[in-house]
Amino acid sequence: MRVGLAVRVVLVGLLAATADGRADVEHPGYVVHATVPLSKQVDGVDGRLELLEDARFTPEVRARFWGNMDDAMYCAARNDTNQTFCASAEREPLRRALLRLVGDGDRELAVETQERDLGELRVERLHGEHARPSYAVTIDYSVGMGTYNGPLTRLAEIRDGRLLWLRSVDAQGKHPEVLRLPSTGRSAWKIVQGGKAGTRDILLVASQPDLENAASGVAELPFVQTLTRFSFDGTRWRRHQRRSPGYWDSIDEPFPERARFP
């Protein structure tokens, strides 16, 4: 690797995703919430990756909504801060977040509408400090109640001027699916050191009712715990899973020890 490339990679990692807040010309009514610089040497394009949100989400309103998204409760307060926001949202529905890839000369290469209004964007080092970076896109699916809703993270990389979502296959190399990492009352994930130097694994714990083995007429459902480890084999991400009876929640239980994952 050339020294210039290594330095550029490190700089991108240090910059990470920065808050912006500027109005967007191509998408009226939006502001740029977060932006990550891209390099042709590293990502194949000189430009940036941006997350755009409805301009009506001021920092104060956004802080109230993140992890909650209960607009009815927020608007019921009827204080001076939220009256303008709530009146506007009633007249015109809130806009969903946009993920945008911008190339040379501020040319928009791709834009994807997300399913919800708020998100975050950051750099992750899944292949070592001096390798191609990955970009974590987190969209808030919280609804203000329940233990199975919350922020969901997907991981992307930029290749040949295109945004590609990372996918994983099972241990046999089959059943590819987009790598999705939920953070809810009954699921959590973390990035840890991989089996080889400089590599990273992703650990995901999830707990849900075991409907397949629930006895008829039993008031309390049994739970099953699923431990998943995602590892990169040099070409593809593989998922290794272990299921066992058990309950886990993010409030009362610590994250499972690494040795418990397959």
How much of the chain, in percent, has pLDDT values that exceed 70? Answer: 86
Q: How many CB atoms lie within 10 A of CB 112?
A: 13
| Residue 98 shares a structural domain with residue 145 | yes
Instruction: For residue 220, give its domain range.
Output: 184-262
pLDDT band at 75 (very low <50, low <70, confident <90, very high): confident
With b meaning 16 or more CB within 10 Å and e meaning fewer, what string describes 11-48?
ebeeeebeebeeebeebeebbbbbbbbbbebbbbbebb
CA torsion through residues 136, 141, 144, 146, sign: negative
What is the largest distance, in Å, between two alpha-carbon atoms of the chain?
67
> Is-contact 160 44, C-beta < 8 A?
yes
pTM to 2 decimal places: 0.87
Q: Do the domain assignments include residue 175?
A: no
| Residue 138 shares a structural domain with residue 14 | yes
In terms of DSSP H, where are the helices of 16-56?
40-43
Q: Which residues contact 216 (CB under 8 A, 6 or more apart)?
A: none
Q: Do the domain assignments include residue 179?
A: no
Q: Do the domain assignments include residue 177?
A: no
Residue where one domain finishes, among candidates 133, 165, 197: 165
Asked whether the predicted pLDDT for residue 73 surpasses 80, the reply is no
pLDDT band at 13 (very low <50, low <70, confident <90, very high): very low
**How many domains are there within the chain?**
2
Query: For 132-182, how does the pLDDT look when each residue is reduced to its tens digit (9 = 90+)?
Result: 899 999 999 998 777 889 999 999 999 888 999 999 999 899 999 999 999
Residue type, 142: S
Pairing of strands 167-169, 237-245: parallel
The partner residues of 237 in beta bridges, in order of sequence, read 168, 232
Q: Do the domain assignments include residue 9?
A: yes
| Residue 88 shares a structural domain with residue 12 | yes
| Residue 146 shares a structural domain with residue 189 | no
Residue where one domain finishes, among candidates 111, 136, 165: 165
Query: For 207-218, how does the pLDDT look when each residue is reduced to its tens digit (9 = 90+)?
Result: 988 777 655 555
Asked whether the predicted pLDDT for residue 85 surpasses 80, the reply is yes
Q: Do the domain assignments include residue 170?
A: no
The encoded tokens of residue 115 equal: 């399913």
Q: Do the domain assignments include residue 178?
A: no
| Residue 203 shares a structural domain with residue 149 | no
What does the mean pLDDT of the chain come to? 86
| Residue 197 shares a structural domain with residue 157 | no
Strands (E), 39-127: 47-54, 98-102, 108-113, 119-124
Question: Distance (Å, rounded) from C-alpha 159 to C-alpha 2?
Answer: 19
